Amino acid sequence: MDTTDDNHTEGIKMEIENQQIVENDCFSTLSDKTHQHLLISERPSSSCRMVRLRSRPSLQSTKSFPPYSQCIGGLGEDEESDDQHNSDMACQANATNVKEDKREELQSTERNEELTTRSPRDWLKAKWKLRRKERSGGSFEVDADSCERGRWSGKRRVEETEEKEEFDDDDDEGCANAEGKHWRGRNSSFEKVRKEEEEDEDGRSTISAVEGDTKSSRETPTRNDEEELPGMTEGSTTQQWSSPHPILSKLLHSSTSSSSSLNLSSAESDEVFSEGEDAGSKRKTFRKCRSWKTFLTMMHWSMSRQSSWVQLAGHQGNFQVSKGGEVLKLYSEVEANCLDCLMRDPLRPFVPQYHGLVTRGELCYIRLEDLLSGLKRPVIMDCKMGVRTYQEDELIKARVKAPLRSDMYQKMVKMDPSAPSAEEHAQKGVTKWRYLQWRDSTSSTSTLGFRIEGVMMEDGSIQRDFRKIQTLAQVTEALLYFTRSQLDTLRAYHSRLLALSDALKNSPFFRTHEVIGSSLLFVHDHSKASVWMIDFGKTTPLPDSQELRHNVPWSEGSREDGYLIGLSSLVTSLAQAISVASWQQEESCEEEQISP
């Protein structure tokens, strides 16, 4: 494992333990409902002989994203990719995987040539063969890290003390952060928090200002002011070298076990040069050392920036990548309160760990476990849950006097020029409720109780065309595309969702909150897969002792969100995808046996 991977791994606070190793035995059942990441073990095609032939669910084809048949070997190159994100990520992926990508390109050209001249049956057969070739060609070194399984199994370790210590190292009073420009005023109540911070001379945690008296018994979120290194920006490039400079090497060896803690103190640096030197050479070496220290610190930052983190959906500028396997999300009181409750709820294993607040310059952020940390070339899908994505307040506002949103009108026209009414066309604006409601009704939100907001494949390409999907069959096709029909990944997701379903049933938080606009984040790489609940910015507690059922349609005033309708649709669709993938695998085995 390379240094970057070590960084990822060591930085993970979420040592996943209650997870289940998914064996490739097609009949194995996934009974452990408490795991958080499932390890994927996929064997080459020989194991497919164990697959039972299943009935073939008929899938409708859709033009809204690369149909499954096009995605077997490729990533839908002809799809409109997502502007900035996409190019950024593609650059990142390209930089680190140039060789692989070149090979893939060649394979893809070969593939296309081969595929175009055949009959449909031959075409299908050829596709499967190529896919197998691709797999055996090394793009899926699935079993290579079976030894890692132990590290990913067992109970989640809660290491508050370690976490605290690690972050206590951070400097106080962060420099003004350029990213602050993106601050959207979302957390006006942060001013309140800041005032209390100033008053709090003991440097006690300011989270209490947000949380009231309800402190987590497991973890006390702490405030940290982080400092950006002068001259260091998010876009720092990583320095590469073939063998470390002797000084660097010495420093590296003198640092502690974790490569992620290259935070060398002056003392540590001095030690390296302290033996038998006169004052002059000491000064010289000190300067040298300082520059090496600066270099190493830059390296450390640069390495942490190398994280494969990506924001798939949501408001741009809301996130910052942080060190130690965390991401920072712009503070919202509503969300911070939810996360605080969730840390003491049965849903905790399904939510990124919440580490309290941190200020960077003028801005306050929520410190969250980075769910992509430790994953290699992660594949991600964001599903927005529920039968509606607007709060009831939005509807009430729209009736009274809601401001007209020209940006939303434009988004609406872009998607469907005939969608706005004559009046809306004349005003060139729509209310937020009208827009959100229209988005819900033109996607699978209203009917299936969730919608796919976006998908990022392992090459970093992002697709958001799934939003128009409306039927379960289309969702199934999207899932097959997203997982490249990998049975183990599909099974891992299925199992995780069943476990989530159980946890939701036992969750006081879920019973007593209206969950709007929250997403399930599906993440997998070549060896792990998991699903997480994220985004609680519009999740609010119910008044009095009111409780929700979550599995019934919404009617005004009921505050029902239909979260479980969405979950059930997803589970059904995954089961369908598993059937289809099994059938495909079976068919490919048959094809293999027939061919000489």
- Binding interface with ligand I3P (CB under 6 A): 389, 411, 432, 436, 439, 517, 537-538
> 430-433 long-range CB contacts below 8 Å, 24 or more apart?
430/404, 430/405, 431/397, 431/398, 431/402, 431/403, 431/404, 431/405, 432/390, 432/394, 432/397, 432/398, 432/402, 432/405, 432/408, 433/390, 433/394, 433/395, 433/397, 433/398, 433/402
Which span sits near ligand ATP by CB under 6 A: 42-50, 171-179, 205-213, 529-537?
529-537
Strand 21-22 versus strand 319-321 pairing type: unpaired
Which one of 76, 221, 314, 429 is in contact with ligand ATP (CB under 6 A)?
Answer: 314
| 315 is a site residue for ligand ATP (CB under 6 A) | yes
| 338 is a site residue for ligand ATP (CB under 6 A) | no
Nearer to ligand ATP, 314 or 449 (CB): 314
Report residue 366: phi and psi, to 5°. -90, 130
- Classify each residue of 36-70 as buried b or exposed e, where b means 16 or more C-beta atoms within 10 Å of its C-beta: bbbbbbbeebebbeebeeeeeeebeebebbbbbeb
Which span sits near ligand ATP by CB under 6 A: 60-68, 136-144, 516-524, 572-580?
516-524
Nearer to ligand ATP, 351 or 475 (CB): 351
The count of chain residues that interact with ligand ATP, using the rule CB under 6 A, is 22
The DSSP 8-state label assigned to residue 27 in this structure reads: T
Report the partner that residue 368 touches, choosing among ligand I3P, ligand ATP, none (CB closer than 5 to 8 A by kind): ligand ATP
Nearer to ligand ATP, 264 or 521 (CB): 521
Report the partner that residue 432 touches, choosing among ligand I3P, ligand ATP, none (CB closer than 5 to 8 A by kind): ligand I3P
191: helix, strand or coil: helix
Report the partner that residue 535 touches, choosing among ligand ATP, ligand I3P, none (CB closer than 5 to 8 A by kind): ligand ATP
Nearer to ligand ATP, 443 or 584 (CB): 443
Nearer to ligand I3P, 146 or 316 (CB): 316
H helix intervals, 205-326? 207-211, 246-254, 266-273, 279-305
Report the partner that residue 312 touches, choosing among ligand ATP, ligand I3P, none (CB closer than 5 to 8 A by kind): ligand ATP
Nearer to ligand I3P, 260 or 389 (CB): 389
Nearer to ligand ATP, 460 or 537 (CB): 537
| 455 is a site residue for ligand ATP (CB under 6 A) | no
Are residues 35 and 496 in contact, defined by beta-carbon separation less than 8 angstroms? yes
Q: What separation in angstroms does the CA of 282 have from each of 247, 259, 272, 276, 288?
A: 15, 27, 11, 9, 9
Report residue 405 as tokens: 């949103």
| 312 is a site residue for ligand ATP (CB under 6 A) | yes
545: helix, strand or coil: coil
Strand 38-40 versus strand 326-330 pairing type: unpaired
Residue whose C-alpha is closest to residue 361's, from 164, 168, 537, 190 = 190
| 368 is a site residue for ligand ATP (CB under 6 A) | yes
| Smallest distance from ligand I3P to CB 419, Å | 12
Nearer to ligand ATP, 369 or 477 (CB): 369
| Smallest distance from ligand ATP to CB 516, Å | 10
Which span sits near ligand ATP by CB under 6 A: 81-89, 240-248, 407-415, 533-541?
533-541
Which residue's CB comes closest to ligand ATP?
314
| Smallest distance from ligand ATP to CB 114, Å | 35
Nearer to ligand I3P, 304 or 391 (CB): 391
Report how far residue 586's alpha carbon sits from residue 577's, in angstroms, rounded to the nearest whole number. Answer: 14
Report residue 106 as tokens: 């060649």
| 351 is a site residue for ligand ATP (CB under 6 A) | no
| 89 is a site residue for ligand ATP (CB under 6 A) | no
| 497 is a site residue for ligand ATP (CB under 6 A) | no
| 440 is a site residue for ligand ATP (CB under 6 A) | no
In whole angstroms, what separates CA 256 from the centre of its chain?
A: 29
Which residue's CB comes closest to ligand I3P?
517
| Nearest 10 degrees: Cα torsion 475, 500, 310, 394 | 80
Residues contacting 181, CB < 8 A, separation 6+: 317
Report how far residue 232's alpha carbon sits from residue 174's, in angstroms, rounded to the nearest whole number. Answer: 13
| Smallest distance from ligand ATP to CB 105, Å | 27
The DSSP 8-state label assigned to residue 542 in this structure reads: P
Report how far residue 462's alpha carbon sits from residue 378's, in angstroms, rounded to the nearest whole number. Answer: 12
Report the partner that residue 262 touches, choosing among ligand I3P, ligand ATP, none (CB closer than 5 to 8 A by kind): none
Nearer to ligand ATP, 226 or 369 (CB): 369
Residue whose C-alpha is closest to residue 592's, from 129, 279, 253 = 129
Report the partner that residue 527 touches, choosing among ligand ATP, ligand I3P, none (CB closer than 5 to 8 A by kind): none
| 11 is a site residue for ligand ATP (CB under 6 A) | no
Which span sits near ligand ATP by CB under 6 A: 19-27, 308-316, 418-426, 441-449?
308-316
Residues contacting 417, CB < 8 A, separation 6+: none
- Helix/strand/coil percentages in the chain, nearest 5: 45, 10, 40
Q: What is the footprint of ligand ATP within residues 380-409 (CB under 6 A)?
A: 380, 382
299: helix, strand or coil: helix
| Smallest distance from ligand I3P to CB 516, Å | 8
Report the partner that residue 372 touches, choosing among ligand I3P, ligand ATP, none (CB closer than 5 to 8 A by kind): ligand ATP
Q: Which helix (H) or strand (E) holds 384?
A: strand 379-385
Q: What is the CA radius of gyration of the chain?
A: 26
Nearer to ligand ATP, 355 or 468 (CB): 355
| Smallest distance from ligand I3P to CB 149, Å | 37
Residues contacting 188, CB < 8 A, separation 6+: none
Are residues 523 and 380 in contact, defined by beta-carbon separation less than 8 angstroms? yes
In whole angstroms, what separates CA 136 from the centre of its chain?
A: 28
Nearer to ligand I3P, 288 or 411 (CB): 411
| 73 is a site residue for ligand ATP (CB under 6 A) | no
| 520 is a site residue for ligand ATP (CB under 6 A) | no
| 134 is a site residue for ligand ATP (CB under 6 A) | no
Interface residues with ligand ATP (CB under 6 A)? 311-315, 318-319, 327, 352, 368-372, 380, 382, 517, 519, 521, 534-535, 537
